[in-house]
Structure 1
Amino acid sequence: MALYMIGDVQGCDEPLGRLLDTIGFSPSRDTLFFLGDLVNRGPASLAVLERLMALGSSAQALLGNHDLHLLAVAQGVKRPHRNDTVDGILSSPRREALLDWIRQRPMALRAGGWLMVHAGVLPAWDVAQTLGLAGEVERALRGEHWQVFLQHLYGNRPDRWDDDLQGFDRLRVIVNALTRLRFCNADGVMEFDTKDSAAAAPPGFMPWFEVPGRRTAGTPVAFG
């Protein structure tokens, strides 16, 4: 049995199919872990979701910011971006089943000794806390009032973790860390303006995985 971790597919179903052929993936033997951003940008977001859903338990998928964006657009919470490529999902006869499948996906996973997230983990969080906080967001997305949660999801504040955070502020920080985090400072203050690579950290900030003393340092972390 092999465990494969795959980063942002973003609607690129044909390249994904070629990758699975190259690695000789067998759904009866192997498990795929997709690290979020399943949809958008590429030309075949609908086909990606249909492929993953058909694979059942042999394909485990995390939520990324583009997947949450799809849910928000579908509910009228966000306007579509000019470059969005999710119309095939939104116009599909299976639209509701597809969206329901997405919102049932986890925000973080641990398997094979790895912690898996889409973007990052704040330095103050250990593995158990990361999974527990991810679970809070998962319950909000799967709950009766998930559309209300989406209405309060977006924004850059608060920009740091505090154990005393409550309500939507608490959930927003968790989502931003797990799906958007690239850079933070030594105190865990997140920076969201810079979209460049790890080498382009703005002054006073660093890639989250380089923060001294981060509490997940003893665990390998896979992220997209």
Structure 2
Amino acid sequence: MANYIVGDIQGCFSELEALLNKADFAPEKDTLYLAGDLVARGPDSLATLRYVKSLGSSAKIVLGNHDLHLLSVYHGIKKVKQNDKLDRLLSANDVDELMSWLAKQPLIQQIPSSIDNKEVAFLSHAGLPPQWDISLALKCAADAEQKLASAELTSWLTIMYGEQPNNWHEVTNEQERFRYTVNALTRMRYCFSDGSLEFSNKAAPMKNQYANNQAIYPWYSLEKIPKCTHWLFGHWASLMGQCEQDNIHPLDTGCVWGNHLTMLRWDDKKIFIEPAHQ
């Protein structure tokens, strides 16, 4: 019985299949955690969603920004982007069922402790914002998940768009709380020195990096996560799985951009890699 965590698939289904075969993944006894962005840009988002959904309780996903954007497109809030290659998915005969299932997925998952039972691990698409502790992150994520799973889904998806407030301490109402939560857990890479979110930079960290004449920092360099607590995330492909902090685990290695798909077996920290097929 093993727990596997895979980075952003983004419709690269053949690579996912090959990676799971390489690791001898067996859904009857193993669990697959997915770091969000199951869809968009790759060739087969439909097969990816169908497969992950078919795994039932053996698959544990967190929503990414592309997954949420897909829900907005499906509900008529946003227009489909041609380079997202979602036409076949949106015209599938089971699209209603798939979108209903997707909207009910969480923003944070806790991963079971490894064999020594001393580690605590969490997974979100973009990380843990420095202005939150873990308990607040779990509370805000649960609140947002409840809204996305509700009958008011379309209203909340509309509210989701926008980059303000980017500072948790400036949140004044329920709508702003929801938007900040979604942005922090699905879009964050860099933060300013006070922990507020910065959205424009995607490059790998460099010394003396600035945005709008202000210094910016990788979110995890400002986050004080205890050493026995681990945070796993996707979203930031330019990191290519590299981080100087032992308890921070980036998993997006840009398969959809021609690099490779990465999966971590949590129990023994073994890494599996499948090069991009296209």
TM-score range, shorter chain: over 0.9
- Is 1:10 the equivalent of 2:10? yes
SS of the counterpart of 1:96?
Answer: helix
CA contact (8 A) 2:129 2:219 kept: yes
Aligned residue for 1:144? 151
Map Cα deviations across residues 139-196 of structure 1 (whole Å, 9 max, x no partner). Answer: 1101111100111111111011128532211110010000000000221111111121
Aligned residue for 1:94? 94
CA contact (8 A) 1:161 1:173 kept: yes
What is the CA-CA distance between 1:53 and the residue it aligns to? Answer: 0.9
What is the TM-score of this pair, normalised by structure 2? 0.77
What is the CA-CA distance between 1:199 and the residue it aligns to? Answer: 3.2
CA contact (8 A) 1:182 1:198 kept: no
What is the CA-CA distance between 1:42 and the residue it aligns to? Answer: 0.5
Aligned residue for 1:205? 216
Which of 123, 127, 133 is matched with 2:134 structurally? 127
Structure 1 outlier segments of 4+, above 6 Å: none
| CA–CA distance in structure 2, aligned partners of residues 150 and 209 of structure 1 | 27
Aligned residue for 1:216? 225
What is the CA-CA distance between 1:46 and the residue it aligns to? Answer: 0.4
Alignment RMSD (CA, Å): 1.4
Which structure's residues are more often strand, by fraction? 2
CA contact (8 A) 1:43 1:85 kept: yes
| CA–CA distance in structure 2, aligned partners of residues 141 and 29 of structure 1 | 30
- Is 1:171 the equivalent of 2:171? no
Stretches of structure 2 lacking an aligned partner (at least 5 in a row): 113-119, 235-278
Q: Looking at both structures, which has the greater relative contact order when contacts are Cα pairs under 8 Å and sequence separation is at least 6?
A: 2
Deviates more, 1:197-206 or 1:116-125: 197-206
Stretches of structure 1 lacking an aligned partner (at least 5 in a row): none
What is the CA-CA distance between 1:215 and the residue it aligns to? Answer: 4.1
Aligned residue for 2:21? 21
Q: Which amino acid aligns with 1:209?
A: Y
What is the CA-CA distance between 1:217 and the residue it aligns to? Answer: 4.0
Number of corresponding residues? 222
Which structure's residues are more often helix, by fraction? 1
| CA–CA distance in structure 2, aligned partners of residues 163 and 131 of structure 1 | 19
SS of the counterpart of 1:162?
Answer: helix
SS of the counterpart of 1:176?
Answer: helix
